[in-house]
Amino acid sequence: MAPGSRRRDACTRWPKMSSTFWVVVLLTALLVLYCGQLAAGTCEIVTLDRDSSQPRRTIARQTARCACKKGQIAGTTRARPACVDAGIVRKKQWCEMVPCLEDEGCDLLVNKSGWTCTQPGGRVKTTTVS
C-alpha cells in the first residue's frame, strides 16, 4: 500500500454522523425554507413611505406582499393589507372589502378609482388604486 493512499481515503469518505444529527440538519433546512414564505391567505407590508411636505396633507404609499388563495386578490380590509374576493376588485366596488376602520364611513370616488374613509370628526382619508 502506498504511504499516501490511506490519507486520501479518509478525505473522500463521508463522516459518520448519528441519525439525530441528520434529522436536525433536515429540520433546520425546512425551517429556513418555511420562514421565507407567507401562509396562504395572508399579507405583510414590505415598504411604507410617508410624505408630509404639503400642509394639512400626508401622502402615504405602501407595498404589500400577499399569498392569496384561489379567487382572491390583494386588497385592504380595516386599513390593513388583506386578501379579498377578486370580484370586488374586478367590479371596482371598493367599499365591499371594508377598507375603512370600524368608526369610519366608506364612499366610492366618482370615477371608481378609489375610496374615501370619513372619520366621525370629519377628517377624510382618500385612497386611490393605481
- For 30-85, write each residue's pLDDT tens digit: 666 566 676 778 888 888 888 888 887 777 788 888 888 999 988 888 888 888 99
Structure confidence by residue, pLDDT tens digits, 84-107: 999 998 999 999 999 999 999 999
Q: Which residue has the cell 366610492?
A: 108
Predicted pLDDT at 97? 92
Query: What is the end-to-end Cα distance of the chain in Å, rounded?
Result: 75
pLDDT band (50, 70, 90) for residue 108 = very high
pLDDT at 117 over 90: yes
Sheet containing 105-108: order of strands: 105-108, 114-118, 124-128
Predicted pLDDT at 94? 93
Predicted pLDDT at 109? 93
